[in-house]
Amino acid sequence: MSLVAIKSAIDALSAPTISFTVLTVLFPFFFPPSDWFEKIHRKLGFWRLWTKAGGITGLVLITAFFVIGYYDKNFNITLTKPDNFPIVLMIYSMFFFIWLAMYKAYRNDIRIDQGLKPEEYNDPDDKVLVWPDLVYIEFIALILFQVFLIVWSILVAAPIEEPANPAATPNPSKAPWYFLGLQEMLVYYDPWIAGVLLPTMIIVGCMAIPYMDINKKGDGYYSFKERRVGIFIFMYGWVVLWLFLIVIGTFFRGPNWNFFGPFEYWDLHKVEALTNVNLSELLWVKLLNQGLPSNILIRESVGFLSVGFYLFILPVILAKTVLKDMYEAYGPTRYTSLMVFGLVMLALPIKMYLRWMINLKYIIAIPEWFFNI
Amino acid sequence: MFKNDERYWDINLLNKWFAISSLVFLLSMIWTFIDDNDDEFKDYQKKFRQLQIKATEKNLGQELDEVKDVREKYDKEFAKAQSDYDNQSDQVKSINDELGKFRADFYKINLNYSEKKAKLDVIKFHLESENAHHLEGEIAQDSHHGAETKEKYKIKTEELYKVKLDKENLEIEIAKRERILKDLKTTLKEVQDTRDKILKKVNIAENKLNVLDRSKMSFMNKIGDIVRDLPILDFMDPYYKVKQTVVKDIHYDVNFTAMPAVDRCTSCHLGITDPDFADAEQPFTTHPNLDLYLTSKSPHPEESFGCTSCHAGRSRGTSFVSSSHTPNTPEQKHEWEEKYSWKKIHHWLQPMLPTRYTQASCFKCHTNTSDLAGAEKINLGLTLVDRSGCNGCHVSSNWPSTAKSGPDLRKLNEKSHPDWVAKWIQNPRDFRYNTRMPHIFEQANQENPKIAKRNITEIASITHYLFKDKITRKNNNPSKYLGNPANGEKLFSAVGCMGCHVSEQDPSMAPQPITFKELTKLQGPNLIGMGSKVTPEWLFNWVKNPHEYMSTTRMPNLRLSDSEAKDLTAYLYDNKNYDFDQKRVPEVDKTVLNELTLDWLMKMNPEKYAIEKASKMTEREKMSFVGEKSIRHYGCFGCHNIDGFMDAKPIGVEITYEGSKPVDKFDFGLMHDIEHTNYAWIENKLRTPRIYDRGKESNPLDLLKMPNFHFTEEEIEAVTTAVLAFNTDKVGETLLAHKNAPDYNKEGHRLVKKYNCQGCHLIENRGGQLVEHIGAPEYGPPNLNTQGRKTNPNWLIKFFNNPMTIRPNLQVRMPSFHQISDKEWDTIIKYFQSIDNENTGYRAPHQFVTGSRKFKAGEKVHELGACNNCHFYGKTFPIQTASTWAANLALTKERLNPEWVVDWMREPQNIMPGTKMPAPYLPTPDVLETDDAVAIWGKDLVKLKGDQEAMLEGLRDYMWNIKGKVDISEEIKAYFDENGYDFSEGEDDDEDDWDEEDW
C-alpha cells in the first residue's frame, strides 16, 4: 500500500464516528473490568502492552506517527504550530505515565496471584528525610525542567498573532488545550450543559470519589485486578472522554470546527450538511406527521420521559436486578451518588452516538427557557 | 554526615545527576545570553562599520591630498609659534611667581579690608543712632557722646580709604601681569586656530576614523570599545544598538488604539542618508533621490516621516524576516528564500509594499492631485481611474469622479442605429481597437454555449431598451451635410481637433496612454469608423454644436462655419469599418428570451406566477423587460446616462479602503496558484476580471460582471498602485501636503485636466502636444506661462465666454467651452493667477501722460522698433506677410497687465521661449552721448540717458495709447477665407535665389 493510501485510510479512520467507537469498544479490552473481558484481554495478548517491551513499542509507534506526519504537508502545519507542542508532550507523557502505572500494577498483580505481597510492601516503614531524599530529587528535577523550558524558549518563538480585531474572528477559534475537551463536547451539547453542568459534575465527582469508594484493596500499592472496575471507569472518563477529545480538538478540528483527518488539507470552504433534529421534532413531525404542539411540556414530553427514565428509574431498576450486589455493598447514598455521576458521564457518549446515528440535536429542546439537553 | 544506607536514594548517583544538571543549566544560561545578544542587525552594523572605515579612509586620503600643499606652511608657522612660546618659558615662570605673591597679598589685604569695613559700619550705625536721638531731642546737642563717635568715625574712614588704595594698587599689578601672560598665549592660539581651520576637514575625518577603527584606538579606548557592547553592560552606551525614529505624527492602528510609528529600519539600513554609499550592497545602499527624501533639507525628512509611512512593513522589526520585507519579483523571492530563509510573516497586517508599488503611499498626504511631480505611476493610475470610469461601479470617496465617463445615451436614437449599437455592445474593440469602453460580454466566464446564447439575447434586449419609444433617424439627405473630405482632413489637422482626438487606423501608430502627453491626445475617442456608426446629419450637428446633443460633454464648440462643418463631416464620414458592418447583428432568440424573462420574474415571484406573467407579455414587452433588467444587472448606467436609470446606484464594491482590506477578505475563488497578497489579487482582477469565477458552478445571474478594460501591463501596475493608495492610513495634519495651497488651486488644476487644456497648451511646462503636431510654436496654441499675471481677469473671462482672434495667423482656434460655468471659469482664472503669485482681482485702466518725456521717448523707441511690420493696429494690417503677423496692439490696453508688458518687452524669450517677437532696441548710454544723438534719437530719448526701465515704460505707455478696433476677428477671417492658410515661412527665401553662376 502506498503512503498516500495509508494516509487516506488514517484520515478516514480518524473521523470521530469511527475513532471514538473503536476506542470505546477496545477500551475495556485494555482495562478489563470483568472476567469476561479479562479472558479476551489475555487471549488477544493485549496484556503485553503493559510490559517493558509494550511500552517501548508504544513510544516508538507514537514517535513514528509524528515523524511520518512531520513530512506530510498538511499535518506538518498543525504539528509544528508552537501552540500545539504541549499537546505532543501530553500524548507522550500521558502514555508513559499510564503505561508506568499499569506496568507496576501488573507486576503487583502477578505477585498477588502468587500469594506474595506487592512490591511496595518492601518499602521502608519509617519516614525518609525531607533533605536530601525529597528535596534533592525535586531540586534536580527542577533544574532539568528549567533547562528544558529555557531551551524551548530559545528555539521556539512565542506564537504571537496580529492585534485583536473585533471585526476579524480567527477561524478556527480554538480554546486553550485544557478546554478543548469541553469545546468538543459543545458540538453535542448545549453550552449550559457542556460548559457548566458537565464540568461541575466532573469536578464534584472527582472530589466525591474517595467518599464513594468502599474498596479497601489496592491502597498504597499499584494494583489493577483489585480495583479494576474503578480504574476502568476512571480511565475511560480520563483517556477517552477527556484526553482523546483534546487530541481531536487539537489535530482533527479545522476551520468552522469541521472535522479534518490529520493528513487532510484544512479547506476553509468545506461544507458539511448539518441536518440535526430535536427529539420532539422526530416524534411529532416525522413520526406522527403533525405540527409541533404549542404547549411546551406536551411538546417535550418524550424528552422529559426519556431523561426522567434514564436518571431516576434506570438506577432503581438496575439496583433491583443487575447491580443488586453493588447496591447492597455500597448502600443507598453511595449507590445513588455513583449512579448520578456515572449516568451523567455515560450520557456524553450516548448523546454522541445519538447524534451520529439519528442526527439527534436535543433530547429536550426548550429554547424559550434556555433549557436544552 | 549522612551515611548512604540511611538514605532512600543513592546519594552518589544523585550528586552525579546534580552536577550534570547544574552544568547543563549553566550551559543553557550561557546559550540564553548568546541568543539574546546575537542580533541580526548587529552583524549588519559590524559589516557597515568596516565599510565606513573604508569610506572614511578614502575621505581622509582625499582631504589630506587637498591640504597637502598648504599644510606644510601652516605646520611650520605653528612649530615656530610653539617654540617662541616655549622660549619665553622663563619669563612666564617669573611672571607666574610674581602673580602668586601678589595674589597672596591681595587675599590678605582683602580680608583686612573686609574686617575694617565691617567695624566701620558698626561705628556708622552708632553715629547715626545718636544723630537720630539728637534730632528727637533726647540728648543735648553738645553732648560728650556724640563728639567721640564722630571722631572715631572720621579716623576709621580714613584708615579704610588707605587700605582701599593699597588694595587697588595690588589689583592693578595683578591685572598687568595677567595681561602679559594672555598676550603671550594669544599669539600661539591664533596661529593654532589658523592651522586648525585649514586642517578642519582632515581633523574631522581623522577623528571619525579614530572612533570607528579599533586598530587606531589607544589601548584603553580599545578595551572600552569592547566592554561597551558586552551583554548587560550594554545598557550604558553601546556601539551596536537598535537605531530608531519615533514618528509622532504617523500612527499605526492596532484596533483599540493608535501607536506612533517607531521605525527601526535604520538599524540595518545604515547608509540610507549617506551619499557615500550609493554603490554599496544592500542593506547599506543610499536611498535614491536624497534631494526629495530623507535628508533634513528635503520635503520628506526622516524625522518627520520615518520609513514605513511610504514603504509599510513592520516598523519595529530588527531582523530581515521580522520586518516583513516583500520581494518585488519571483526571482527576488527565490533569492531571499535562499539567502535569508525569507518567509512571509502572516500576522502582520500591513506587509511592506513591493518596491514597484511604493508610490501608492504618496496618496495619503498628497490627496488631491493626479499630477504629483516624481510620482508618475500613481499619476497614471489615478488618471486611468478617472478615465475608465471606475467610480461608476466602484465608489471611491477619496478620489471621486466629477462626471460619468461615457457618453449620454438618452438621445442615442438621433446618433446611431440599433444594429451598430448591438454589435458595439457585444464587442467594442471590433469597432475601435483602443476604445475606453470595456468588454462586458464574450469574457472567460461566458464561454459556455448556453451562457453565450443568453448573452446574445441580453444584448439585443438592451439595445431594444435603449431605442425604446424613440424614433430612429433615417439617413435622409446625406449630401446636405457632406462637403469635401480632403478639406475636412486638412481642417481636422489644423483647426484644433487634434488637441483631444486622433483618427488613427493603425494600432501600432496610436498613442500609448502611459505618459501624460500621450494621454492628452486621448481625451476624446479615436475617430475611425464614423461612417459605420453615425449619420452625417448627426455628425454635422455635433461638430457645429456638441452641447445640443449632450449638455455635459467635455467637447467644446469650435465655432465652425457650415462649410467647415460639412467638410469635417465628410472627412470623418468617409472612414467606414467594413468588417464591423459585415458582422452579424445580435438578435433575440424567442426561447432564450422567454427563459431570461422567467429567470428575472422568478427572482421576485414563485415560478407559477412568473409563468403566468410571462405568458401575458408580448415579445416586445419581454425585450424591454429583459433589457431593463440587464442594464440594471450589468450596471451600464455607471458610465452612461440612460433614461430610467438616472438615480440608479453603482453596482460594484466600494473601494475607498481597498488598500487596507485584509487579504483573507479577498475572494480568490478557486484560484490557488495566485500569490496570496492583496496586490496579486488586484493585478489578476484587472488583467482578467472574471478569473475568480474559474471552476465555479454559478448560476448565470451569479456570474462575475466586471468588464474587461484590456489594460496593458503598465496600466495594470498603475491602477493597482492607485487602488492600493485608497486605504485607511492616516497621517497627522502637519504632514498633509498642499495644505497651504488654496482650494481653488487644486480645483482649478482638476478643471484644467478635465477639459484637457494641456492637450493644446503648455501649462506649468506640461502638455502642448498639439504644438508639436503643428510643428512651429508660433503657429500653435500659445504657451500659457505667466498667463495669470499677464491678462486682466475681467478681459479673460470675457474671452473664455466668447473667444476672439488674438494671434491672427493661427489656423488653430481656441474653442468655446460653453459648458463651463462662470464659477468654474473663476476658479480656473484664480488658479492661473495663483501659479504666478498674482492676487489682483480687478485692475484699473493704466494711467499715463501723453506729453511726458517718458511717453515721447517711448514713441521714438516704437518708431525705431517698426512694430507695424508684424503687429496689427486696429484694422490696419501689418506691413509684412501673414507668416509673421502678430497680435492687434489696439487690444493691449484692454487685455494685458501693464507691468507684465514691461517684463515681456524686456526679454520675450524668457516668457515664451521660441517666440518670434524680438526685444525692442533700447539705445545704451554711450550711443546717446554722441554729438548727433539728439538728431538721431530725439531729445526726450537722450534725456533718459539710457534708463532701460524708463524706456520700456515709455514704450508701454505709447502702446496703451494706440487706438483702433479691438476685435478684428472678422477682418482676419475675411482675409484667410480669401487667401487660405498656405503662407510660406518667410520672404527671405526670395533672396536665396540660385545665382546662375553657382550652377
Answer yes or no: are the C-beta atoms of A302 and A280 closer than 8 Å: yes
Q: Check residue B4 and give its pLDDT.
A: 56
Q: Check residue B199 and give its pLDDT.
A: 82
What mean pLDDT do residues B225-246 have? 91
Per CB-CB distance under 8 Å, the chain A contacts of B316 are none
What mean pLDDT do residues B842-849 have? 85
Which single residue is written with the C-alpha cell 513514528? A64
Which single residue is written with the C-alpha cell 526629495? B292
Query: How many helices (H) and strands (E) would you count in chain A?
Result: 17, 2
Left if phi > 0, otherwise alpha if psi is -120 to 50, otherwise beta: which for B469? left
C-beta neighbour count of B444 within 10 angstroms: 13
DSSP string, B283-300: TSPPPS-TTTEESTTSSE
Structure letter (DSSP) for residue B515: S
Cell reading at A190 = 448545549
What mean pLDDT do residues B38-55 have? 92
Spatial distance between the Cα atoms of A193 and A121, rounded to a whole number of angstroms: 45
Q: Check residue B144 and give its pLDDT.
A: 58
Question: Does the pLDDT at position B7 exceed 80?
Answer: no
Cell reading at B77 = 608657522
What mean pLDDT do residues A290-315 have? 91
- Closest-CA residue of chain A to B348: A162
Flag the least confident range among A160-169, A238-247, B777-786: A160-169
pLDDT, tens only, B925-963: 888 888 888 888 888 888 888 888 999 999 999 999 999
The reply to whether residue A162 touches residue B25, judged by beta carbons under 8 angstroms, is no
What is the Cα B174 distance to its own chain's centre?
68
* Mean pLDDT of chain B, nearest integer: 89
pLDDT, tens only, B616-650: 999 999 999 999 999 999 999 999 999 999 999 99
The reply to whether residue A154 touches residue B7, judged by beta carbons under 8 angstroms, is no
Left if phi > 0, otherwise alpha if psi is -120 to 50, otherwise beta: which for B710? left
- Closest-CA residue of chain A to B9: A133
Answer yes or no: are the C-beta atoms of A186 and A253 closer than 8 Å: no
Q: Does A130 touch chain B (CB under 8 A)?
A: no
What mean pLDDT do residues B559-569 have? 93
What mean pLDDT do residues B191-215 have? 85
Spatial distance between the Cα atoms of A279 and A303, rounded to a whole number of angstroms: 7
Closest partner CB to A133 (pick from B8, B32, B348): B8
Flag the least confident range among A67-71, B134-138, B784-788, B954-958: B134-138
Left if phi > 0, otherwise alpha if psi is -120 to 50, otherwise beta: which for A295? beta
Residue B776 pLDDT level (bands cut at 50, 70, 90): confident
pTM reported for the whole predicted model: 0.85
Q: Does A147 touch chain B (CB under 8 A)?
A: yes
What mean pLDDT do residues B546-557 have? 91
Closest partner CB to B25 (pick from A129, A143, A166): A143
The reply to whether residue B17 touches residue A140, judged by beta carbons under 8 angstroms, is yes
Per CB-CB distance under 8 Å, the chain B contacts of A164 are 255-256
- Closest-CA residue of chain B to A123: B8
Flag the least confident range among A235-249, B236-250, B627-641, B940-954: B940-954
CA nearest to A348, candidates A201, A248, A230, A229: A201
Question: Does the pLDDT at position B991 exceed 50?
Answer: no
Which single residue is written with the C-alpha cell 609659534? B81
Q: Which residues, including other chains, have CB under 8 Å from residue B736's CB and lie 6 or more apart? A: B365, B367
Q: Check residue B145 and give its pLDDT.
A: 57
Q: Does A158 touch chain B (CB under 8 A)?
A: no
